[in-house]
A and B are shown apart, each in its own frame.
Chain A
Amino acid sequence: MLLNCPLPLATTDRVLLGHGSGGKLSAELMRDIFLPALSNPILARLDDQAQLEIGGLRLAFTTDSFVVKPLFFPGGDIGSLAVHGTINDLAMAGARPLYLSAAYVIEEGFPLADLRRIADSMGRAAQQAGVSIVTGDTKVVERGAADGLFLNTTGIGLIPASVTISAAAARPGDVILLSGSLGDHGIAIMAAREGLQFDTVLTSDSAALHTLVEAMLAAAPAIRCLRDPTRGGLSSTLNEIAAQSATGMRILETEIPIRDEVRGACEMLGLDPLYVANEGKLVAIVAPEDADAVLAAMRTHPLGRNAARIGAVTQENAGRVVLQTAYGTTRIVDMLAGDQLPRIC
């Protein structure tokens, strides 16, 4: 036999951190455990939110848990992040977010002053976004059973009748738009966690994107796909759309906006900004005839000032994302297996 390497470790009998990374391992959990156990056609669409029809109304319904460390970071905290994250999952269906719930899991000994700060921040973020947090839950667990505080938010919103957005709707020839620079949130968190210092303070991009989406839909109601590239970054988002739409994605390295500070930090840490998380950015796939209007609408909104046309949907390479480098060469942009691991040198 030609190949006799160490035994493959494909099957693990335990949950690894990588199962929560939003990459291939997360997709495996979904495919092998949750989908078979919970099977129904609404869940099977695997969008960022469920889309429900009740009494003639189209509702978007979503939930998200937040375990960010540190709890407070430049540009936000776990409270505002939990509001923005769930609003954005609703907004990615073109929905107008209406109501949120908040569930706190708090570790025994957690400072009340910090809890108050987080709750205040949550209230402010909801108010600014025009949503109400109308129900909630609090659980306290023993010291050591949670890392300070975990937070879950669930949200519902109304989808306008004219809008049908799905990650399965991309077609060859469509244009890929990105609302701004990549990696700001993930690198701000990592810098805060690792005590990295830069000339300027890196700030998370955490923001509620529903008014940006509203402006985009006003410019072109037939937007095909919307996704916010959170965990797993732009790469995971485009790979998911490519898989669900059975199309290829071709993006241009030179057109993808990335801040110098983020590029610098990624260089130092050996990370690829295409895989770093964002909390205030969206990817839109639009028909070529709508691209200019949507891009113009994005650029007039404060959260889309640096929006860019970063590539196109292709017939070839179905299910794959291909990047054209600054040198005219190409490479695959794959979904990560698990988390990006900092490299040795």
Chain B
Amino acid sequence: MKHLDEYRDAASVQTLADAIHKATTQPWVLMELCGGQTHTILRCGLDSLLPAHLEIVHGPGCPVCVTALETVEKALAIASLPNVIFASYGDMLRVPGIHTDLLSLRARGADIRIVYSPQDAVRLAQANPDREVVFFAIGFETTAPAHALAVQQAHALALTNFSLLVSHVLVPPAMRAILGSPQNRVQGFIAPGHVCAITGYEPYEDLARRHHVPIVVGGFEPVDLLEAILLLVQQLESGRAEVENPYARVVSREGNRHARRATELVFETTHRKWRGIGELPDSGLCLRPQYAQFDAEQRFALAHIQADEPPECISAQVLQGLKKPTDCSAFGTRCQPESPLGAPMVSNEGACSAYYRYRRQGVESA
């Protein structure tokens, strides 16, 4: 496949791995910030190509995993209502709430549909004027522009039966929280390539300066990730802390102006709860007041639903890179993809799921 095979080339991967070995003279801890990157690293076994003392930890980069238990409970409450069609991306359906999940609700008769794009949900609302269609709008800066367009589309069509349960989160505030934590171990970040395609890498320059931490934009293929890791190691070894962008085929400094504009027109920043991490200031997006009629939280009066993950839950530490999934006593035993204890075991992009799928103790790698 053109535009993919060259970034998966085995010889290039080996050359980069050798260069990383040469460049690394002391232990470093790096964090990748996107679930897609986590899965590439584990699926391809890239971490086993790296020097033993170069540690890769997995950040809060899976949008499904970081969606707060409270938001999942709100989704379940809406989806249970008789006249509602609840539309969601597929991997949200297995995420456990307190007592149930969306897949089980669907088996009990709730009308829950998997959609590939928010436009599909708008079409559902057009086709079912006598029913309420609610779209579960989760994700980072990446999915926000498409969600914004769906809202504008619904507005233009004067749809009165369409709304969004919004749970958007933003990457830079999460990085600030990790860097500000007294327990932080992370010394360099692989910035999420898809998010940066929208926002550009300019928002990361201030973070790099303030916290003196190198940040390199990473793509999702093995060559992209190893390039980013090499640049991070070179910066750390020479004491630099800059933003670098080897993923220039997709990402520019200013990002996608049209997409950013669409997001800004419809959404504004808000405080947001993250699973396991708690509420972070200005770390999420919510609908602007002029689009309040599309806000499912208001339409269905959900403010009374509150739920907190227990602070001792290890998924918080996994999502902050403080622990590896395999450090959890329930990993692979009480917690498995078919009976997940927490979201990181459910989602395709979750760190626990990646470790479970690709790496388990007792399997010889030779």
User: A24 near B338 (CB under 8 angstroms)?
Assistant: yes
Decide: B356 and A334 in contact? CB cutoff 8 A.
yes
Most buried by B among A7, A9, A316, A326: A9
Whether A3 lies near B348 (C-beta < 8 A) is no
Q: Are B107 and A3 in contact (CB under 8 A)?
A: no
Report Cα–Cα, A328/B10, bound state, in Å: 9
* B344 nearest CB neighbor, chain A only: A5
Counting from the closest, the 7 A-B pairs by CB-CB distance are A329-B45, A10-B339, A341-B90, A5-B341, A337-B338, A331-B358, A14-B107
Which residue of B is nearest A11, CB measured?
A: B339
B48 in the interface, Cβ–Cβ < 8 Å? yes
Among B13, B90, B309, B341, point to the contact of A343 (Cβ < 8 A): B90
Which of A5, A14, A330, A341 has the most chain B CB atoms inside 10 A of its CB? A5
A316 nearest in chain B by CB position: B364
In the assembled complex, B298 has its CB within 8 A of some CB on chain A: no
Q: Is B272 an interface residue (CB 8 A)?
A: no
Are B339 and A9 in contact, CB atoms less than 8 angstroms apart?
yes
Question: Does any Cβ of A come within 8 Å of B111's Cβ?
Answer: no
Contact B101 A9 (CB under 8 A): yes
Q: Which residues of B contact A264 (CB under 8 A)?
A: 1
| B280 partner residues in chain A, CB cutoff 8 A | none
Q: Are B93 and A341 in contact (CB under 8 A)?
A: yes
Give chain A nearest CB distance to B56 CB in angstroms. Answer: 14
CB pair A327 B45 closer than 8 Å = yes
1/0 per residue, CB under 8 A from B, across A1-45: the answer is 111111111101011111000001100100000000000000000
In the complex, whether A344 has a CB less than 8 A from a CB of chain B is: yes
The reply to whether the CB of B108 lies closer than 8 angstroms to some CB of chain A is yes
Asked if A270 and B348 sit within 8 Å, CB to CB, the answer is yes
If A14-B107, A194-B116 touch, whether A7 touches B99 (CB-CB below 8 Å) is yes
CB-defined interface of B133-153 with A at 8 Å, one 1/0 digit per residue? 000001100110000000000
Q: Cβ of B104 < 8 Å from any Cβ of A?
A: yes
Contact A8 B334 (CB under 8 A): yes
A15 to B109, CA, bound (A): 11
B328 close to A (CB within 8 Å): yes
**26 CB-based A-B contacts, threshold 8 Å:** A1-B312, A3-B314, A5-B335, A6-B69, A6-B96, A6-B98, A267-B4, A320-B363, A322-B363, A329-B44, A329-B48, A329-B365, A331-B42, A331-B44, A334-B356, A334-B357, A337-B338, A342-B90, A342-B114, A343-B89, A343-B90, A343-B349, A344-B64, A344-B91, A345-B63, A345-B194
Since A3-B313, A3-B328, A338-B103 are in contact, a sample of 9 more A-B pairs with Cβ atoms closer than 8 Å, ordered by chain A residue number, is: A12-B104, A14-B108, A326-B13, A329-B45, A331-B358, A332-B359, A341-B93, A341-B348, A344-B91
Task: Flag whether A53 is at the interface (Cβ < 8 A).
Answer: no
Query: Is B222 on the interface with A (CB-CB < 8 A)?
Result: yes
- Check A5 against B104 for contact (C-beta < 8 Å): no
Which residues of B sit under 8 angstroms from A337, Cβ to Cβ? Answer: 94, 336-338
In contact, B312 and A263 (Cβ under 8 angstroms): no
- The count of residues in chain B whose C-beta lies closer than 8 Å to any C-beta of chain A is 72
Interface residue tally of chain A, by bracket?
35 or more
Is the Cβ of A326 less than 8 Å from the Cβ of B8? yes
The smallest C-beta distance from B239 to any residue of chain A, in angstroms, reads 31
Whether the pair B93, A2 counts as a contact (CB closer than 8 A) is no
Which of chain A's residues have a CB closer than 8 A to the CB of B13?
Answer: 326-327
CB of A5 within 8 A of CB of B313, answer yes
Q: Which B residues touch A345, using CB under 8 A?
A: 36, 63, 139, 142-143, 194
Query: Which positions in B face A, CB cutoff 8 Å?
Result: 1, 4, 8, 10, 13-14, 36, 42-46, 48-49, 63-64, 69, 89-94, 96-101, 103-104, 106-108, 114, 116, 138-139, 142-143, 194, 222, 309-310, 312-315, 328-330, 334-342, 347-349, 356-360, 362-365
Q: Which of A295-345 contact B (CB under 8 A)?
A: 316-317, 320, 322, 325-332, 334, 336-338, 341-345
Inter-chain CA distance A295–B212, complex, in Å, is 59
Residues of A within 8 A of B (CB): 1-10, 12, 14-18, 24-25, 28, 194, 260, 263-264, 267, 269-270, 316-317, 320, 322, 325-332, 334, 336-338, 341-345
Distance in Å from the Cβ of A172 to the closest Cβ of chain B? Answer: 14
CA distance A337 to B314 in the complex (A): 23
Partner of B49, one of A3, A327, A336, A338: A327
Contact A326 B10, beta carbon cutoff 8 Å: yes
Contact status A5-B139, CB under 8 Å: no
Query: Which one of A4, A12, A270 lies within 8 Å of B312 (CB-CB)?
Result: A4
Is the beta-carbon distance between A317 and B363 smaller than 8 angstroms?
A: yes
Given contacts A25-B338, A327-B14, contact A16 B104 (CB under 8 A): yes
Inter-subunit contact A338/B45 (CB<8 Å)? no
Least CB distance, A103 to chain B, in whole angstroms? 26
Q: Which residues of A contact B347 (CB under 8 A)?
A: 343
Nearest-neighbor residue (CB-CB) of A320 within chain B: B363
Residues of B within 8 A of A267 (CB): 1, 4
Distance in Å from the Cβ of A167 to the closest Cβ of chain B? 21
Which residue among A3, A4, A326 has the maximum number of chain B CB atoms within 10 Å of its CB?
Answer: A3
Measured CB to CB, the nearest residue on chain B to A12 is B104
User: Would B363 and A2 count as touching, CB distance under 8 A?
Assistant: no
Which of B103, B340, B356, B359 has the most A CB atoms < 10 Å from its CB?
A: B103
